[in-house]
């Protein structure tokens, strides 16, 4: 061995040049492993007094008024291709009419605590606070935490 390299040094160096799937104890990833998560669709709705800011895990955004006409427009959009979950932020009761409208159309909806979502956003490094960003944070919150939807019809 030249320059003081031992046999064990060359074996250690050889491990750095191996492909990850060649290392002992490493299971190769299947490219299809993430398909289930990618196919799960989430929608986040930031509720304010005047309007609703909507974001989807597919990348589209929408702003509708927070009244019966806006609720109907949103329900129509979501009914055509229902998501796995619609996440609403609790905002002092302003979200109730929308949650009832979505549940009436049998869409999966969950109202989450605004404080938990804000802490999630801070932990994710999203410090900016706009309605559109809040809707996108709600989508990420749904993807990460996977809250269970509540069925209002079951409680009757």
pLDDT for the residue 155: 46
Does an H or E element contain 11, and which? Answer: helix 7-16
What are the tokens at 102?
A: 């979505």
pLDDT for the residue 33: 47
pLDDT for the residue 69: 97
Nearest to 138 by CA among 151, 154, 124, 150: 124
Using the 8-state DSSP alphabet, how is residue 94 labeled? Answer: T
Residue pLDDT tens, the chain, 156 long: 455 556 666 655 555 555 555 545 444 444 444 444 457 999 999 999 999 999 999 999 999 999 999 999 999 999 999 999 999 999 999 999 999 999 999 999 999 999 999 999 999 998 888 999 999 999 999 999 999 886 655 444
Do residues 91 and 45 make contact, with C-beta atoms less than 8 angstroms apart?
A: no
pLDDT for the residue 100: 94
Beta strands per DSSP E along 66-135: 85-89, 109-112
Answer yes or no: CATH 3.30.420.10 is held by domain 40-155: yes
DSSP 20-40: GGGSTTPPPPPTTTTHHHHH-
Query: Domains of the chain: which residue ranges?
Result: 40-155
pTM for this structure?
A: 0.73
Do residues 62 and 132 make contact, with C-beta atoms less than 8 angstroms apart?
A: no
């Amino acid at each position: 061995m030249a320059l003081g390299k031992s046999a064990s040094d060359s074996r250690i160096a050889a491990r750095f040049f191996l492909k990850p799937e060649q290392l002992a104890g490493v299971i190769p990833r299947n490219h299809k492993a993430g398909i289930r998560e990618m196919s799960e669709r989430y929608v986040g709705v930031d509720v304010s007094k005047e309007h609703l800011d909507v974001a989807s895990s597919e990348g589209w955004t929408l702003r509708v008024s927070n009244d019966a006409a806006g609720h109907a427009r949103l329900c129509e959009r979501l009914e055509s291709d229902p998501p796995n979950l619609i996440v609403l932020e609790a905002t002092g009761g302003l979200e109730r009419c929308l949650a009832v409208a979505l549940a009436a159309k049998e869409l999966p909806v969950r109202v989450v605590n605004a404080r938990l979502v804000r802490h999630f956003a801070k932990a994710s490094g999203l410090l900016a606070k706009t309605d559109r960003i809040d809707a996108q944070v709600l989508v990420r919150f749904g993807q990460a935490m996977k809250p269970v939807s509540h069925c209002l019809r079951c409680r009757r």
